[in-house]
C-alpha cells in the first residue's frame, strides 16, 4: 500500500515517489498489458510508462487499481480509502491543515485543492500523494 512504504523519520517526496514507482511497476509487471488497458482503463502509453516506472502522473485510484489487479485479495476502493484515512489521521496527529500542507509542497495546489484531493472530490496523482505524505510524515511527533 502506498502509505506503508514510508520507512524514514524524515521522508522526502522524491524517495516516496521512487517507492511508489517500484510498487506500481512491479505490480504492473505481473499484469498483462491488455488488462491494464481494458480493466483499469489506462491508455497504451500510460500502461507502457508505468511499466517503465513513470508513475508520477498516475492517479491514486489508477495506481490502486493496478495493485488490485496484481493482488485480487485487495480491492482498489478499499486501498484508496485506507490511504485517505491514513493521510487524514496523520494530519490530525501532526496538527496540520490543508493550507499548511499546500504551502509546503511543490505541487501547484491551493489548500482547497489539497482538501478536495484528500476527500476524493478531485483526482490526486501519485506525485501529489508523495509530496503530501512527505509533509505529514515529517511533522508527525
pLDDT tens by residue, 71-121: 888 899 999 999 999 999 999 999 999 999 999 999 889 999 999 999 999
Could you tell me which residues are beta bridge partners of residue 125? 59
> With helix as H, strand as E and coil as C, how does 16-68 read?
HHHHHHHHHHHHHHCCCHHHHHHCCCCCHHHHHHHHCCCCCCCEHHHHHHHHH
- Does the structure show a pLDDT above 70 at 45? yes
Could you tell me which residues are beta bridge partners of residue 59? 125
Confidence of residue 13 (pLDDT cuts 50, 70, 90): very high
Tally the domains of the chain: 1
Contact, 126 vs 2, CB < 8 A?
A: yes
Cell digits of residue 63: 495506481
**For the residues 28-51, what does the mean pLDDT come to?**
87
Q: How far apart are CA 59 and CA 123, in angstroms?
A: 6
What pLDDT is stored for residue 8 in this prediction?
Answer: 64
Tell me the residue range of the domain where 12 lies.
1-141
Q: Does the global pTM surpass 0.85?
A: yes
Amino acid at each position: 500500500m502506498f502509505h506503508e512504504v514510508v520507512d524514514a523519520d524524515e521522508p522526502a517526496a522524491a524517495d516516496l515517489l521512487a517507492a511508489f514507482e517500484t510498487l506500481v511497476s512491479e505490480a504492473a509487471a505481473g499484469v498483462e498489458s491488455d488488462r491494464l488497458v481494458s480493466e483499469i482503463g489506462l491508455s497504451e502509453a500510460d500502461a507502457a510508462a508505468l511499466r517503465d516506472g513513470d508513475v508520477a502522473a498516475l492517479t491514486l485510484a489508477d495506481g490502486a487499481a493496478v495493485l488490485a489487479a496484481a493482488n485480487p485479495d485487495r480491492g482498489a476502493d478499499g486501498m484508496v480509502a485506507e490511504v485517505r484515512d491514513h493521510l487524514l489521521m496523520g494530519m490530525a496527529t501532526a496538527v496540520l491543515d490543508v493550507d499548511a500542507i499546500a504551502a509546503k509542497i511543490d505541487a501547484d495546489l491551493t489548500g482547497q485543492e489539497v482538501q478536495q484531493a484528500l476527500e476524493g472530490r478531485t483526482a490526486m496523482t501519485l506525485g501529489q500523494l508523495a509530496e503530501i505524505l512527505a509533509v505529514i510524515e515529517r511533522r508527525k511527533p
